[in-house]
Amino acid sequence: MESEGIDLDVKRFDEIVRARRAVRRFKEGVGLPEGAMEAMLDAARWAPSGYNLQPTHFVVVEDAGTKEALMKACMDQTQIVQAPATVVFVGDRDVARAHLKKVLAADLANGAVDERYCAFMRKQVKLSFGTGPCGFGWFWKAFGGPVGKLFRQVPSIPAVERRYWLAKQMMLSAMVFMLAATDRGLATCPMEGFDEGKVRKALGIPRRYVVGLVTPVGYAEGEIKGRSRLGLDELTHWGRWGGRKNQ
């Protein structure tokens, strides 16, 4: 199948999606192929992000001692020490200040945007992420937003819901990473069971960053058995909630 100059192997992609599983037992002592980690992370960085700010960072843990400390911060889940590597997906609370100027400059240089768009984005990002002096901007957005919804449409505001916004961005990158791993015959295990403060301490992650997901990666130990999924008709609503196709 070909679309707009891009060759798409839809059947192969469907197979990769269905083959991905959360694996909790990894082959010990078996490392990753040369360059595989870099390739998977390179794929993950191309995941979409709000305002194209790219807030997701990747902390790659391969050292045995650090893996042991990370395992203890993750409720002693042994897959972390079994797998040859673990990737911790981290989101930057201060990404607007850290990345906006660089992102706009790069997009402007390659012709993806023009100066008019850049001016709009500077204004929009400041409005969405700014908290104002002494946090007064946050207070106004947190309490003024619900009132504003009585009179006009008000979107979710990252300045108020920073962790929620970052979680969405990190999960997009994590999913791309896990599919890239599956494509290489590797297994992953997305983990939310961890003490964020202890993970941050074990890996030296500054407090401005949110820990979103911990994902061991390696070769699965034993057979990977298929898991069930609810039927498409149970989860899909056509047109509006509860709507059925061709009603």
Q: What is the DSSP string of 62-109?
A: --HHHHHHHHHHTTT-THHHHSSEEEEEEEETTHHHHHHHHHHHHHHH
CATH of domain 11-91+170-235: 3.40.109.10
Label residues 17-30 b or e (16+ Cβ within 10 Å = b). Answer: eeebbebebbeeee
In tens, the pLDDT along 87-131 reads 999 999 999 999 999 999 999 999 999 999 999 999 999 988 887
Q: Model-level pTM?
A: 0.88
Beta bridge partners of residue 188, listed in sequence order? 22, 217
Q: Residue 156: which pLDDT band, with cuts at 50, 70 and 90?
A: low
pLDDT recorded at residue 222: 84
Name the strand (E) or helix (H) holding 178.
helix 162-183
Mean per-residue pLDDT for 231-243?
A: 93
Residue whose pair of structure tokens reads 């992370």 in the numeric block? 41
Answer yes or no: are the C-beta atoms of 174 and 211 closer than 8 Å.
Answer: no
How far, CA to CA in Å, does 74 sit from each of 15, 80, 198?
A: 31, 9, 8
Higher pLDDT, 59 or 138: 59
The CA distance from 200 to 229, in Å, is 34
Could you give the CA distance from residue 60 to residue 203 in angstroms, rounded to a whole number?
10
What pairs with residue 86 in β-bridges?
61, 216
Q: What mean pLDDT do residues 7-30 have?
A: 88
Is residue 1 over pLDDT 50? Answer: no
Model confidence at 57: pLDDT above 90: yes
Can you tell me the distance from the alpha carbon of 150 to that of 95, in angstroms, rounded to the nearest whole number?
30
> pLDDT tens digits for 128-149?
888 776 655 555 555 555 655 6
Higher-scoring residue by pLDDT: 132, 79: 79
Taking all residues of the chain, what is their mean pLDDT, rounded to a whole number? Answer: 89
Greater pLDDT, 136 or 186: 186
Q: What is the pLDDT of residue 5?
A: 62
Domain ranges of the chain: 11-91+170-235
